[in-house]
């Protein structure tokens, strides 16, 4: 089962276990802890992850990932499932799941061992809670949510989280509160175990492990869930609160799919209920306007830059005028700068992330000198003092 546009994957040696592969296409990339063998191959169409596992687990992983992809879910993109007919279905090499490699991603171990981890801890916990809430909204019961089943990637000033392992997951039309609670409990247990392993690997006594991290994530999840699923009472003179609520959900990145305003039969107010879909609000807007692909928070920053460009050109009154300026922004501002940045940061770093770093620098310089310094001056400053970083939470 392979998607038709990935025929070059067929040329790999599927008769042999991936652990025996010697093809020059293999690339050594950092991988998290895993039960199964995972290898990476670089082909013309991109880099792919291949995981070898029993047939049933592979089928489930593939099905859930396909389902999530169709719903715009935050998960790795499935490309194919190879089934080795001659093998016993329960054997560890009965199937191979192929997914698209998530560029510029890293595992939690790399994040935790990084110099900046202290202040980044908050971001990690928030991003992790957000991932679980997003999956639950889409009806996905993970059943094995853990730090190592998630990929991390810098997303403008925040961290983006992507589900990588769906072997145990299932999709329902809606999850009950009981199902969500059960998933949270598993997460708390898994995270405690992972923090214990980390403490052990650093030679620390077990009681110094960060046991409460999972509970902290669960608390953040609850806050977020309450925000997403809130029902509000709105009085006649408060119609603006409907717009306010939609803006707030969009700010969090959620697409609002449906708004229900139910008049209260006796009293003088209405009930407002919203249904949110995937968390791709800014990403979708940016793609529609410019065709550029970016992370959700990167897209938010880049949309602001597009607006800045449009204003600098004197603005646009009509939709076609705006579309034309969007094309000019891409070819005159965005793409040339992306190439210049790529030359500075090298092939292993994400140029779109570098672009948002540059936007942040431009903002800081402009705020400091109380006038717009422009992108060029920001880029020169970058070359002079080195790559800027977003401020870390808790930092000054
Ligand atoms: N598409 C992918 N992109 C980047 N890394 C991946 C991808 N798929 C797997 N990995 C890496 O392999 C590790 C193990 O994958 P996972 O699906 O969790 O396997 P297992 O079922 O053995 O736990 C992940 O933590 C990640 O580091
Ligand atoms: Mg796993």
Q: Characterize the bridge pairing of strands 140-141 and 150-155.
A: unpaired
Helix (H, G, I), strand (E, B) or coil at 132: helix
| Bridge partners of residue 71, in order along the sequence | none
Average pLDDT over residues 138-161: 94
Ligand 2 center–CA 35 separation, angstroms = 6
Residue 396 pLDDT: 35
Confidence band of 393 (pLDDT split at 50, 70, 90):
low
Spatial distance between the Cα atoms of 113 and 117, rounded to a whole number of angstroms: 7
In this structure, which residue's CA is closest to atom 16 in ligand 1? Answer: 165
Whole-angstrom Cα distance, residue 168 to residue 269? Answer: 44
Q: How many beta carbons lie within 10 A of that of residue 322, not counting itself?
A: 15
Unique residue bearing structure tokens 């938010």: 300
Evaluate if residue 49 carries a pLDDT over 50: yes
Instruction: Give the largest Cα separation in the chain, rounded.
Output: 74
Give the Å distance between the CA of 33 and the centre of ligand 1: 8
Average pLDDT over residues 224-233: 90
265, two tokens: 């039969």
Tokens of 94: 């009965």
What are the tens digits of pLDDT across the range 59-110? 999 999 999 999 999 999 999 999 999 899 999 999 999 999 999 998 888 8
* Mean pLDDT, residues 211-236: 91
Name the band, by pLDDT with cuts 50, 70 and 90, for residue 263: confident
Determine the residue of 19, 31, 75 to mutate for testing ligand 1's pocket, defined as the one with the most ligand atoms within 8 A of the Cβ atom: 31
Report the pLDDT value the prediction gives residue 391, as an integer from 0 to 100: 66
CB-ligand 1 contact for 93 (6 Å cutoff): no
Q: Is 66 in the pocket of ligand 1 (CB under 6 A)?
A: no
Mean pLDDT of 249-258: 91
Please work out whether the CB of residue 107 comes within 6 Å of at least one atom of ligand 1: yes
Is residue 32 predicted with pLDDT exceeding 90?
A: no
Task: Write down the pTM of the prediction.
Answer: 0.89
For ligand 1, the distance from its centroid to the CA atom of residue 165, given in whole angstroms, is: 6
Residue 321: phi, psi to the nearest 5? -60, -40
By C-alpha distance, which of 162, 161, 167 is closest to 144? 167
């Amino acid at each position: 089962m392979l998607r038709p546009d990935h025929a070059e994957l067929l040329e790999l040696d599927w008769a042999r276990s991936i652990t025996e592969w010697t093809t020059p296409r293999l690339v050594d990339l950092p991988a998290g802890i895993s039960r199964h063998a995972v290898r990476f191959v670089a082909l013309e169409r991109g880099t792919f992850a291949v995981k070898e596992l029993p047939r049933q687990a592979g089928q489930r992983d593939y099905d859930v990932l396909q389902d999530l992809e169709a719903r715009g879910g935050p998960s790795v993109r499935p490309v194919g499932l190879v089934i080795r007919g001659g093998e016993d279905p329960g054997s560890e090499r009965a199937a191979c799941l192929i997914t698209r490699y998530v560029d510029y991603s890293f595992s939690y171990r790399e994040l935790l061992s990084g110099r900046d981890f202290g202040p980044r801890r908050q971001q990690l916990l928030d991003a992790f809670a957000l991932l679980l809430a997003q999956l639950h909204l889409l009806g996905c019961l993970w059943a094995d949510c853990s730090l190592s089943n998630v990929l991390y990637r810098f997303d403008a000033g925040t961290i983006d989280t992507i589900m990588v392992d769906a072997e145990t997951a299932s999709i329902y039309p809606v999850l009950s509160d009981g199902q969500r609670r059960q998933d949270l409990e598993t997460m708390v247990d898994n995270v405690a175990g992972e923090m214990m392993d980390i403490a052990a690997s650093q030679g620390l006594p077990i009681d110094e492990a960060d046991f409460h991290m999972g509970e902290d994530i669960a608390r953040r999840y609850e806050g977020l869930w309450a925000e997403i699923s809130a029902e509000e009472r709105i009085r006649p003179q408060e119609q603006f609160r409907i717009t306010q609520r939609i803006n707030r959900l969009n700010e969090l990145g959620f697409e609002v799919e449906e708004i229900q305003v139910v008049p209260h039969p006796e009293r003088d107010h209405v009930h407002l209920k919203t249904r949110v879909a995937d968390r791709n609000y800014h990403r979708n807007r940016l793609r529609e306007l410019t065709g550029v692909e970016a992370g959700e928070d990167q897209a938010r920053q880049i949309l602001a830059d597009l607006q800045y460009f449009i204003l600098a050109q004197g603005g646009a009154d009509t939709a076609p005028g705006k579309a034309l300026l969007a094309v000019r922004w891409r070819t005159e501002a965005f793409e040339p700068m992306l190439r210049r940045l790529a030359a500075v940061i090298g092939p292993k770093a994400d140029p779109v992330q570098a672009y948002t770093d540059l936007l942040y620098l431009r903002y800081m310089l402009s705020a400091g000198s109380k006038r717009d310094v422009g992108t060029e001056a920001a880029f020169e400053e970058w070359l002079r003092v080195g790559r800027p970083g977003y401020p870390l939470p808790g930092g000054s």
